[in-house]
Amino acid sequence: MVTRCTLAVDVMSGDLGPRIAVPAVLDFSLSHPDTQVILVGDPVQIRSLLPERYSDQLCIESAQSVVTMADQPSFALRKRKDSSMYRAVKLVAEGRADACVCAGNTGALMAMGRYLLRMHPGIDRPALATAIPTRLGHCYMLDLGANVDCSAGHLFQFALMGSALAEALDGMEAPRVALLNVGAEQVKGNEQVKLASRLLQEHGALNYIGYIEGDGIYTGKADVVVCDGFVGNVALKSSEGLARFIAQQLRQSLSGTWYRRLVGMLAMPILSQLKQQLDPSRLNGASLLGLQGIVVKSHGSATRECFAHAIVQAQTEVRRDVPGLINSRLGQII
């Protein structure tokens, strides 16, 4: 199925700004000639990074300011209506774009998403979901930091949206949904998680498989892993930190003596391939679920290649109509 679509990309907000985002858009547009991209930001900077003659797939939407990582969401929403982030989300709200991609301040992006796109009826808060590599492929984990305090009802809504995401993106019929907990037994956990488990069991609409512990994320036991944003953020970032630590120790192990250096040289192509395979940023592009429109959040420090992956993610969500599927699942359930 090929659907023509238009994506709005905020090229200003990431840690490395347009220097990464504009080349990523160029890479994407070359391999996706059927997709229009609106580059949102400072036209002078954007033009300086585009070739003299560029494809008519691309156009520029001017935005005068940039939301910084230090801006409070409420401040950004009130005072940065001329920012690249606000303009990119607004293009989706106005129907001029089918989705937007942004590497900036998550809280501000969430606030603008809620204000401009509105929530699905039945969903209280947007949740940030991303794919995580596992032994059997990948799973989706949510929430990853959009909501630091969650009730059982919120966790239930996250389960519903995560299940619809896996269904839409991977064509699964009944994705296995698990709640992240400190033990596998029914008595374990805090009140919110225990109550969410009861809600999921009683409701019966999802393929709920019960609790998994932190080490279960990577085994492929579940297709959707649900937790509050505090726990999800810490789990994801501590995993990233450990992966970097292991990589650094491995590099160090393969230096020093001539034997170690030799083994290092011989192992290099194998290790590079493995690194790429396991790199969480390979699956860059977290979805802000629950909004009546598609917003994809790129990692702030994404490389050109990873930023391009986030744009592909947005395009896929448009083609599979993720918000439409969430809406229809909500209609059936709530």
Contacts with a second copy, residue ranges (CB under 8 A): 70, 72, 133-135, 145, 148-149, 180, 182-183, 185, 187, 189-191, 213-219, 227, 229-231, 233-246, 248-250, 253-254, 260, 262-263, 266-267, 270-271, 273-274, 277-278
**Least distance between a second copy and beta carbon 28 (Å):** 28
Closer residue to a second copy, CB minimum distance, 255 or 332: 255
Q: Euclidean distance between the first and final Cα of the chain, in Å?
A: 30
The Cα 226–Cα 208 span in angstroms is: 11
Closer residue to a second copy, CB minimum distance, 7 or 179: 179
β partners of residue 138 = 133
Closer residue to a second copy, CB minimum distance, 61 or 228: 228
The Cα 97–Cα 93 span in angstroms is: 8
The Cα 204–Cα 211 span in angstroms is: 15
Closest of 10, 32, 14 to residue 318, by C-alpha: 32
**Least distance between a second copy and beta carbon 249 (Å):** 6
**Least distance between a second copy and beta carbon 183 (Å):** 8
**Least distance between a second copy and beta carbon 230 (Å):** 6
**Least distance between a second copy and beta carbon 253 (Å):** 5
Closer residue to a second copy, CB minimum distance, 59 or 278: 278
The answer to whether the CB of 201 falls within 8 A of the CB of 156 is: no
Element (H, E) at 296: strand 294-297
Closer residue to a second copy, CB minimum distance, 55 or 190: 190
Owner of token pair 């070739």: 51
CB count within 10 Å of CB 30 equals 11
The C-alpha R_g of the chain, in whole angstroms, comes to 21
The answer to whether the CB of 26 falls within 8 A of the CB of 48 is: no
- In the three-class reduction of DSSP (H, G, I as helix; E, B as strand; rest coil), residue 194 is classed as helix
The Cα 290–Cα 280 span in angstroms is: 23
Closer residue to a second copy, CB minimum distance, 148 or 205: 148
**Least distance between a second copy and beta carbon 216 (Å):** 7
- In the three-class reduction of DSSP (H, G, I as helix; E, B as strand; rest coil), residue 132 is classed as strand
**Least distance between a second copy and beta carbon 135 (Å):** 6
Closer residue to a second copy, CB minimum distance, 209 or 334: 209
The answer to whether the CB of 10 falls within 8 A of the CB of 88 is: yes
**Least distance between a second copy and beta carbon 202 (Å):** 22
Closer residue to a second copy, CB minimum distance, 14 or 229: 229
